[in-house]
Structure 1
Amino acid sequence: MAIYDKRAEVIQTNKMGWLTIWNAALEAVNKPVLDLSDRNTSQVWRIELRLGSKQLRNRFEMRNWQDLRDMIGDAFTDALTRLRYCIPTTDRSRARWPTHELWQQFDSVIGMDLLQNCAGVLPSDVIQANRAAKMRELDAQLVGLFITRAAISDVTGPSFDDFMEGHVEALLRLVPEHPTPITDRIAKARAKYRLT
């Protein structure tokens, strides 16, 4: 995280039009424009909050532009819970230093402006919920298939449990008959459902 006083940079690079943009934004909300000859009325601050691969890929599972649009607000909000810009005091414990007003404004802007870019949950929680739902769905399909297979085999209701137990052994005998090894097939299924 870095906080910069942009005044000197603005004076040097006003050819790019930032002063024009900022003054237009100030005029739009009926505030006085920046006067670069007066430091006290012309301070422009930029706060950079950078997120690395640990936050983007590992913690929030952002892999493409749509993921970024959907969850960047969550990632920034999460980062703001772990750091802050403070006003130093004589207190030896930095945890008791008051949060700087600029940081409070920044936190508020992130919370409001990126609200539409928040999912509200960690992707790992979503993956876990999806995994549980997919397992329930597959189990229901397996039961349905076993019932159909039992009906075709003239199995009655009271002997269904014995049929299921005995039929698992028949299914295990079919596994080696497939041309693709079981480890490869499991890996392919894992990749399809993003279980890792």
Structure 2
Amino acid sequence: KHSVNRKEWNLRVSVKAKALVLYGYEGVKARIYERLEAMGATVMQESIGRVDLCVDLMLPGFELQPENIISPAQSTQSDHGDMNVHRRARRVDSITLGKMPGRQICIYNKRREAKIKRNLHWFDVWGLDRDENSSENPVWRVEIRAGKRYLSEQLNVKTWAELDAVLPDFVKMTMEAYRIIGIKTGQNVSRWATHEFWHEAHSRLMAITNGELCGIVPGRIVSGKRRVLQETYETLIVGLAASLSEVCQTDDVPTLAQTLAQKINNAALNQSDWNRRRQRAKRRLSITDEFYQQEHHA
């Protein structure tokens, strides 16, 4: 809306982890403003509502165990909430500490989640075979989150500049306040050694705040999404063909397949109509940036 009243703001931007993998923190910020400008939006002032930073790690032999997590000594239920543990087949699959809109840490098996939710492009990012046994080689995502209340009350953050100034400190404070420990020695918790998994997560999260990129090119994710969509549509076509055979009361599958192939060929002969259908699919699927660039930057 054309209004200077903050209550009248009506644009909210949410960034997915995939975009951050591809373009990094600074790159994503630049792309946000490019797209807002292309939409004709007038950006008067930003207000950061939530910040999530995450890294994905594989460490052979590592198991997530609630008893090995150390929380801040001053934690209270109102500040950090109870530990939420999710198990699958007797193994801990995820642990969440804290509550939004405060500060929160979530450690979970991203490999399993990617398979369940069919976000299979992550396997291209990791360079892993999605058909391998995920229970033996999990990919653990360590995600630290700052909600609106924590940003405003604890970090005094509303703008990009304020966020940039405190982001490294936020990572450091959070990763030092919560720890995963290795071997417990003695009664003094502060002397228990931090697990190498947590050291690695801390180091990589700090690298994000320093602007380091993952080195993943967009083509790897796009090709992965295309492959998943291809498999999905092929499965749908087979299912529809089986239904059609029942409707036609025929078990002559080769003839049915030949008839369908001929119908597809006939439809494709009308090139303008076929291209129009493909363009509609391209807009609907949105698996590349090409449509956006053609429509808004021509």
Structure 2 length-normalised TM:
0.31
Which has the bigger relative contact order, CA under 8 A and spacing at least 6? 2
Which protein has the bigger helix share?
A: 1
Structure 1 length-normalised TM:
0.44
Which protein is bigger by CA-based radius of gyration? 1
